Amino acid sequence: MRPTQILRSDELPIGKYGHYLNKDTWGHLGGILPQKRIITYALSANRQNILAGAGHDAVFNTWRRFRKQVLYWAPPLLAAYYAMDWAMKRYVAIMRSIR
In order along the chain (99 residues), what is the average pLDDT of each group of 10 residues? 58 53 53 63 76 89 95 97 98 92
Question: pTM for this one?
Answer: 0.45
Least Cα distance to 47 among 77, 99, 3, 87 occurs for 3
Q: Which one-letter DSSP state was computed for residue 12?
A: P
CA 39 – CA 16 distance, rounded (Å): 9
**pLDDT for 10:** 53
**pLDDT for 78:** 97
CA 99 – CA 92 distance, rounded (Å): 11
**pLDDT for 70:** 96
**pLDDT for 84:** 98
**pLDDT for 90:** 96
Q: Taken in order 23, 26, 13, 11, is the CA torsion positive or negative?
A: negative
**pLDDT for 61:** 95
**pLDDT for 51:** 82
In contact, 60 and 66? CB cutoff 8 Å? no
**pLDDT for 19:** 53
